[in-house]
Structures are given as C-alpha cells and as structure tokens.
Structure 1
C-alpha cells in the first residue's frame, strides 16, 4: 500500500511539473516569435505576426492544475510550510495525536473541496461550458484537474493522519521513542 501511495503522489507531482513545462514552452514560443518579429522589423522585413491565441488563459489553467496536482507530493515529502509553535512544545505522543487530528481536519476540508469542484466540473461538462477567451476551452478540463489534485491531497492527508496516529511521524523524527 505504501508503494502505491508514493507512486500516486509522485505521479501527481510529475503531472504538475509537466504543466509547468507546458507553460514554459508556450511562453518561450511566444517570446521567441516576438523577438523574431522585432529582428525582422529592424531589418526592414515584414513581421510574421505569430501569436499563441489564449496564451494567458491557457497558462492560467496550467498553473492552477500544476499547483493543485503538486499539493500531495509536497505534503508527502514534508516540504509544506508548517507552523508548529504549539506542537513543538508538546511531548511526542500528544504531538503526534494533535498532528493526526489536524491532518484529519485538513482531509475533511480537502474532501469537501474535492466534492464541490468535481460537482462543478460535472455541471460544466453537462452544460457544455467553455472559457470566454480566444480559445474555447471546455471548463470541465481545468476544473477536473483541480478536483483530481484535491482528491490526491485528501488521500495524502488521510495517509499523514494514519502515520501520525501510528507513531510513524516523519515530520518530527519518524516515530522515535515509541
């Protein structure tokens, strides 16, 4: 089970990275085309006029997808920012229990957000909603990506809670003293 969860988190992280690479490629193409046009104009030739329609909108959708898809992987690797002013002062077992409770509360919130986003994506799909930009992107696609990211985050938070309750807490020492 541990291997399957780690693979799920890693896959979501790689999908997030691919979204960022897609943004890089699209923006790089647009900037490169503008530089070529500037050079052609400086030489007295006509500009190509190459433009990626809806770049800002598509980049926004990709950025949202990358953010939500990366949440579970960063949580699993313990690179989220954690405020532990209270918990660092607690003895180990009460701290683990509090960490588990907080992770379960986060999982409940993430589960609700997953449900709401998935329902919104299904509505958008049934109504045929598309974005208002130059390129009509079906809104169910970015909404579905966000919902998938939140679903994987929900799973990761439940996993963190289970690790904390079992005493296997990698954030604060991996269960030493138990």
Structure 2
C-alpha cells in the first residue's frame, strides 16, 4: 500500500514536471507566433497586434526550476541521476552496498539541508510579500514552494532507497541501471 502511494507520488512529480515543460513550450510558441503575426502585419502595411507575454523569460525560468525539482525523485528511482559506478563495480558486492548506503545517507543529509533552506526562503518570501523583479510581479513564494515540494519528494525518495538498501533489497536506481547495462560499462 505504501509502495503504491510512493510510486504515485513520484509519478505525479514527473507529470507536473512534464506539464511545466509543456507550458514553457506553449508560452514560447505563442510569443514566436505573436512576433511572426506582427512582422507579417507590418510587411503588408497594417498595424501590429502586439502579442507578447510579459516577463516570459522570468516565468519560463520559474517553470523550468519547478520542472527540475519536481522530477528529482522520479529521476533518482529510474536511475537517471549521474553516479560514478566505476568504484562501486570494482569492489566486492558487500562493499558496494556499503558505499551506496553511505552515498544515500550523505545525499539525504544534503537534501535535508537544501529542503530546510528552501523552506525558510519560501516562508520568508510569503511573510514579506516578496515579488520578482520583472515587469510582471510574481510572488516569489510560489516557485519557491514548488522547489520545496520537489525537494520534499526527493528527500522521501532518498529515504525510500536507503531503507530498501538497508533491508537487503536492491534499490530502484540500481535495478534501473542494471536493466540499462550500466554494470557492464555500456
């Protein structure tokens, strides 16, 4: 039951990340089409419509950060994070498990610090009504909260993988790497 809930949470992070990227693409497409329409109207002697998305680069940046952070957990579980496996594959399996456990523990500690820091920053932005610097004033707590949610999912995924490893099972990222032929150096 818990496994299914966690898997759905990781999948939801992937879906939200994909939606953020699709939104970026859609906004850029509207901006480009707006420019094409305006240039065409000018070329035929008409007044341009002026289709433009205010602060597109800033909004796109917020959406991109959201996509990155929301995809962290699912990317870990699917073996998509960069790991240096040369050392792990050159030691006996018991030492490799220990190294993986230490790496997961350290990653969990770093993620805890990042989660706490991002949470404090989002709280401060909300408490002080901090807004972005662009022409469109976006409340900063919104993208910062998305970062916190993404880091929270990543923290849960790291803990999930560490507990799996400590119970003697093979973590998901290792299963994914083995399925891709990573253990053979491919």
TM bucket by the smaller chain? over 0.9
**C-alpha displacement of 1:40:** 1.1
Counterpart CA distance in 1 for 2:155 and 2:115 is 8
Once superposed, which parts of structure 1, at least 4 consecutive aligned residues long, lie more than 4 Å away? Answer: none
Aligned to 2:94: 93
Aligned to 2:113: 112
Aligned to 1:75: 76
Aligned to 1:20: 21
Counterpart CA distance in 1 for 2:24 and 2:124 is 27
RMSD (Å) for aligned C-alpha atoms? 1.4
CA-to-aligned-CA distance 1:126-174 (integer Å, 9 cap, x gap): 1011111111100000111111111111111111112222232241659
Q: What 5-or-longer segments of structure 1 have no aligned partner?
A: none
Aligned to 1:140: 141
Q: What 5-or-longer segments of structure 2 have no aligned partner?
A: 180-186
Counterpart CA distance in 1 for 2:122 and 2:51 is 33
> Normalising by the residue count of structure 2, what TM-score does the alignment of the two structures yield?
0.89
Counterpart CA distance in 2 for 1:94 and 1:3 is 30
Aligned to 1:157: 158
User: Which is worse superposed, 91-100 or 66-75?
Assistant: 91-100
CA-to-aligned-CA distance 1:20-47 (integer Å, 9 cap, x gap): 0110111100001001111111111111
**C-alpha displacement of 1:111:** 1.0
Aligned length: 174
